Amino acid sequence: MRGFWIAVMFAGCGHSAPAGPGAREEVVGSWKQGGLEVSALTPTATSFGTDCATGIVSKIDVLVCNYASAPAALAAAQPALAWVGDTTGSAQARGTLVIAAADRRKADPNGRTINQIFKLVPR
């Protein structure tokens, strides 16, 4: 029986990627908890998603799109790179979200902030 309770305790310890309607808020909370400055996210239209919002995280432009499933988010990660454009940045699927970050202000010359933006969000 003791082994069962140990397994139950460890099952709740893992971090999983955010999913569902509140996923965007979870990501914003993770960024704030990690010490990043986060502006309000404003709804925006994109060619690759219908539930997207943009904002600024520690001087980096971000786009967060919510999808119905993790496979749908994964399929949208590559098209999200078009939003990043020719500037330094990245787009990745995390759970049911696609997160894109673009350094349009040249505020992150070594890429540390962009790295932290993605590192703070579970895969």
> Which CATH number fits the domain that encloses residue 100?
3.30.310
Digit-coded pLDDT (tens) for 59-110: 999 999 999 999 999 999 999 999 999 999 999 999 999 999 999 999 999 9
Cβ neighbours for 43, distance < 8 A, ≥ 6 positions apart: 52, 53
Q: Residue 4: is its pLDDT beyond 60?
A: no
Token pair belonging to 40: 């309000």
Token readout for 121 is 């969000």
Residue 6 lies in a domain: no
How many structural domains is the chain composed of?
1
Q: Give the domain range for residue 67.
A: 16-119
Q: Parallel, antiparallel, or unpaired: how do β-strands 42-44 and 60-66 relate?
A: unpaired
User: Is 27 part of a structural domain of the chain?
Assistant: yes
Q: Cβ(17)–Cβ(121) under 8 Å?
A: yes
The pTM of the full predicted model, rounded to 2 decimals, is: 0.83
